Amino acid sequence: MSTLDLFAEPAPAPEAPAARAAQLRQQLQHHGHCYYVLDAPEIPDAEYDRLFRELQAIEAAHPELLTADSPTQRVGGQVLDAFAQVRHAVPMLSIRTETDTESSGAEAFDARMRRELNLAEADPAVQYVAELKFDGLAMSLRYENGVLVQAATRGDGETGEDVTANVRTIGQIPLRLSADVPAVLEVRGEVYMRRDNFEALNDRQRARIAAGAKGEKTFVNPRNAAAGAVRQLDSGIAADRPLSFFAYGLGEVSGAAQPLWARHFDMLMQLKAWGFPVAEQTAVVEGAAGLVGFHQRMAAERDQLPYDIDGVVYKVNDLTLQQQLGFVTREPRWAVAHKYPAQEEMTTVQAIDVQVGRTGKLTPVAKLAPVFVGGVTVTNATLHNELEARRKDVRVGDTVIVRRAGDVIPEVVSVVLDRRPPDAPQFTMMSHCPVCGSLAEREEGEADHRCTGGLFCSAQRKQAVWHFAHRRAMDVDGLGDKLVDQLVDSGQVNTLADLYHLKLENLASMDRMAEKSAVNLLDALEKSKQATLARFVFALGIRHVGEATAKELARHFGQLDAIMVASEDALLQVADVGPIVAHSIRTFFDQAHNREVVQALRDAGVTWAEGDALAPTEMPLAGLTVVLTGTLQSMGRDEAKDKLEALGAKVAGSVSKKTSYVVAGAEAGSKLDKAQSLGVPVLDDAGLALLLNGEKP
């Protein structure tokens, strides 16, 4: 039966519990097989759990419907034929699992324990061991006379699979223990895969698939990868998949001279002393408050752990009390697992939109049927870029598994291919920006498409205005982020040139804008109209054109019109400009709307001194290296730097023997000391004025 068949049938009406129970049993059997036997789950755990709970509820309400073969009557999965079967000397128990809020679950467990132990209110708090619930594969390790003789999976709790050869490859599992261990010691715990090892494994798998290897696949999550590795028939392959282990319990223990421990925690510490990994977070806590505190701490730490956990486990610490509490079917009464909200869920893709970011990056975003995952309702998941969307092959109409861990943005983990509608089209990135219609381009070697609209694209407008006003661009003092947001959002600034048409009344209507600040801003805008060519070119925000490149362009071409019409070949002649930068400049000025913005800025009065292109060597201060330090009286350091560079000097940040001059203002510090010790000439404001006159002092 395919998953499609399973989901195609609508759930029977509530008045037909027998039919629904039969259907659920069939579905759970199918998915249990996929999960436990094939290691290839088709649905997220949360979906499986929901079906399981629905069946449990029906059986509880209608005990006559309970059948011996119901999945609710079995702890684990089936045993693979290919592995030898192992009968556990002591059954591998399951654990009562609850998905609860942190306090009510812990309090209910503590209240249950106190009731079962007949404790009065005045009696002291029960002591618990709080542990992590690892998201891996339960394992029983049997040591005889200190030697690992067998590793077995849980299987159905009574009979598991002999996976000794594979488990021997796990470096963390001791093959031989010190001589003072009991003659027979079965250590129980969880085999898991660390997240970094999982990522590395999937990278290797992708490389193998890309190289054409047959039968290879990537893994959905670390647990799935760990289970796949443990069930490898070829232990050489298992060894290639790095696994880890945490111990948390015992099976058969015999041949010890006297009782070895009185508390669960002491037993864990003994296992640790014998060389088994025990999670360092394991803690002894008192009463419900202690359990709640642990739950909260672990929920906060969860995403920083190097491995996945899906909840926490609470156990009564005192072994005598554990014995007194006993078992219900296959679950001990003295333990409970509290699961965190599922981090993976299944939903459908209703559309794939393309969003344009402030830097022009085009991001495909899957619009999802709302789904509650990782504690929030998720309706969007980024697909990052076209390559990623294609790699995952996400299509409109697809059923997908969505993951949201902690505060990390939700992502599509994989597509449930069985449920893909027949004519779902593959995603293709659009050729033009969905916001402004400019060309969308992907540069060679880059994954992202970008809108080339720059100044013109409204999605990029805030970023463009903010960049334009920057101190090192047009230097518009007082035009901060918040004000830019308001001006753009209110529609007062649609193009950069609109900045120069702002009136006092426009600014006064903005939040937290005093009249004095508005007047100052208008003055700053007016002052900024007297630019330099380099600052203006930098202010345009052409991709890849930083401050240094803008200066080189200004120096090389002398005039804006020359830059605007320069071919890529001509641009390549400029120091600092390579093919990517040349292409970016050409593309920018090829767009009519960008040329229109430039013209509108000129019309608004933005101007700069234009000159002929000068070869750098012909400039008056060519060949000089100047260091600026301290507070100058005549001008700010940025202004001095611009002026010196415009005359061909290089302005450096540190003093060396090669420095031509150090210009030192008030409170100059170590740079001045160094200049003096190296004998580099030191200039004051007057000396700087001479330099800027093109004279060498």
For residue 245, the minimal CB distance to ligand 5U1 (Å) is 12
Nearest residue to 360 (alpha-carbon basis) of 482, 541, 500? 541
Closer residue to ligand 5U1 (CB): 132 or 502: 132
> Coil, strand or helix: which one is 255?
coil
> Alpha carbon of 479 to those of 475, 513, 523: distances in Å?
9, 11, 11
Encoded tokens for 99: 């998905």
Measure the CA–CA gap between 92 and 88, rounded to whole angstroms. Answer: 7
Measure the CA–CA gap between 596 and 455, rounded to whole angstroms. Answer: 10
Judge residue 37's burial from the number of C-beta atoms within 10 Å of its C-beta, 0-12 exposed, 13-18 middle, 19 or more buried. Answer: middle
* Backbone dihedral angles phi then psi of residue 363, each to the nearest 5 degrees: -120, 120
Contact assessment for residue 438 and residue 421, using Cβ atoms and an 8 Å cutoff: no
For residue 88, the minimal CB distance to ligand 5U1 (Å) is 12
Closer residue to ligand 5U1 (CB): 106 or 132: 132
Angle between helices 685-692 and 637-646 (to 10 degrees): 30
For residue 217, the minimal CB distance to ligand 5U1 (Å) is 28
Closer residue to ligand 5U1 (CB): 226 or 413: 226
Question: For 184, which DSSP code?
Answer: E
> Coil, strand or helix: which one is 419?
helix
For residue 431, the minimal CB distance to ligand 5U1 (Å) is 53
Closer residue to ligand 5U1 (CB): 285 or 474: 285
Contact assessment for residue 460 and residue 440, using Cβ atoms and an 8 Å cutoff: no
In the chain the first and final C-alpha atoms are separated, in Å, by 90
Contact assessment for residue 326 and residue 215, using Cβ atoms and an 8 Å cutoff: no
Closer residue to ligand 5U1 (CB): 75 or 624: 75
* Backbone dihedral angles phi then psi of residue 183, each to the nearest 5 degrees: -55, -40
The answer for 493, left when phi > 0, alpha when psi is -120 to 50, beta otherwise, is beta
For residue 224, the minimal CB distance to ligand 5U1 (Å) is 18
Measure the CA–CA gap between 223 and 101, rounded to whole angstroms. Answer: 24
Which residue ranges make up the site for ligand 5U1 (CB under 6 A)? 93-95, 131-133, 138, 248-249, 313, 332, 335
Catalytic site residues? 133
Encoded tokens for 655: 């003093």
> Coil, strand or helix: which one is 626?
strand
Closer residue to ligand 5U1 (CB): 65 or 283: 283
Cα torsion 495, 501, 502, 505: sign: negative
Contact assessment for residue 256 and residue 267, using Cβ atoms and an 8 Å cutoff: no
For residue 94, the minimal CB distance to ligand 5U1 (Å) is 6
For residue 414, the minimal CB distance to ligand 5U1 (Å) is 27
Measure the CA–CA gap between 627 and 674, rounded to whole angstroms. Answer: 11
Closer residue to ligand 5U1 (CB): 333 or 641: 333
For residue 339, the minimal CB distance to ligand 5U1 (Å) is 11
Measure the CA–CA gap between 203 and 201, rounded to whole angstroms. Answer: 5
